[in-house]
Amino acid sequence: MKILAAMSGGVDSAVAAARAVEAGHEVVGVHLALSRMPGTLRTGSRGCCTIEDSMDAQRAANIIGIPYYVWDFSDRFKADVVDDFIAEYSAGRTPNPCMRCNEKIKFAALLDKAIALGFDAVCTGHYASLTTDAHGNIELHRASAWAKDQSYVLGVLTAEQLKYCYFPLGDTPSKALVREEAERRGLGVANKPDSHDICFIPDGDTRGWLADKVGEKEGNILDSEGNVVGEHRGAHSYTVGQRRGLSLGRPAPDGRPRFVLEVRPVSNTVVVGPKEALDVGEIAGGRLSWAGLPQPHPEQWFDCEVQIRAHADPVPARARVAPIDPNAEVYRVGATEEFVVVPEEPLSGVAPGQTAVVYVGTRVIGQFTIDRTVSATLPQSTLVDAASV
């Protein structure tokens, strides 16, 4: 096959490209330039897709012996990832920019260009596995090493996109073995630390970065009964489940810590309460997709597991797809159905805007962006302000 290897500059993508060559494929390496002002992206081990990473990727491609190019996707990255991040926070949601980058950049813009240029597949260093069922349908599964499994961040991929994906690291038992292999191959990135945090926030200060982009506006912090217990400088800088940095003027009557329960951007208020009030008994969202064929009867309840963060444990649950209540203004324009998931045990600290990925066994069934939650302890649902959407 003719393979386009997406090379981030890290050890995983370098070894994945080398394995693709070893498997007999015709491989071309490409690095994605995501900013026209590289200084605005993270540098060193804390970033990804920086100038340093581009140079590391080029050195790896030279050692592997494959052609190497840099493609400028900065405009798409700003529109589909950075601007989306700002819009989501402004609407009181907590987005995952890495999910949007996978969805819109690495497996949409990049994949589309690769197919147009005649490539058969895009190779990445993600730890996930692809299998084919008895009817030839491709399925996305967890990697063999659950500690490094990255199927969650790939949950946004569709059946059509999976046809063009190639994940050579999916059966590798551990990251340590990948580093050892990189060392044997003479790749200089063998001991390069993994990237962390949000690449387009240079100093890691998300709160300050958002304040610069959307401004600051003082407002009230309320308890669950509506009493004013403090003030904030901008609701966008708070997220559900947050405990630190609340600066509350009135302590709780019982002296226990309080956590953010809701962010209401329309009224510019933040609601806080005890930790147990974070427990959620149902989640639902309308920006859904299927990673492969959907369930035969998705409108019927089926047993599954749900994962709401990249490094969270999966939780047993029941799920179904249902029509959206036309009066539920919390949903984005054009949404007609929602994924509804009821976990066996309450989830904690779930924020609208997070991505929930649904599994059956090791297989990724699909995903959705959480638009609404139903509290397991409070008498009514916890929703984003409808007028903010």
Most distant CA pair in the chain: distance in Å?
A: 68
Q: Is 48 a catalytic residue?
A: no
Q: Is 165 a catalytic residue?
A: no
- Tell the residue number behind the tokens 């260093």, with chain if given: 125
- For residue 325, give every residue at least 6 positions away whose Cβ sits within 8 Å of its Cβ, in sequence order, or none: none
- For residue 337, give every residue at least 6 positions away whose Cβ sits within 8 Å of its Cβ, in sequence order, or none: 286, 288, 321, 322, 323, 324
Q: Which of 49, 101, 123, 165 is catalytic?
A: 101
Amino acid at 74: S
Residue 271, token pair as written in the block: 């609601």
The Cα-based distances of 281 to 30, 146, 175, 203, 270 in angstroms read: 44, 26, 35, 36, 21
What is the arrangement of strands in the sheet containing 2-6, beginning at the earlier edge strand?
Answer: 68-72, 26-33, 2-6, 121-123, 165-166
Q: Which of 98, 165, 199, 304 is catalytic?
A: 199
Distance CA 353, CA 334 (A): 17
Which residue from 321, 287, 291, 295 is spatially nearest to 160, judged by alpha carbons?
291
Amino acid at 93: R
Distance CA 244, CA 108 (A): 37
Q: Identify the bridge partners of residue 259 per DSSP, sorted by sequence position.
A: 273
Amino acid at 21: V
Distance CA 190, CA 14 (A): 9
Q: Cite the active site residues.
A: 101, 199
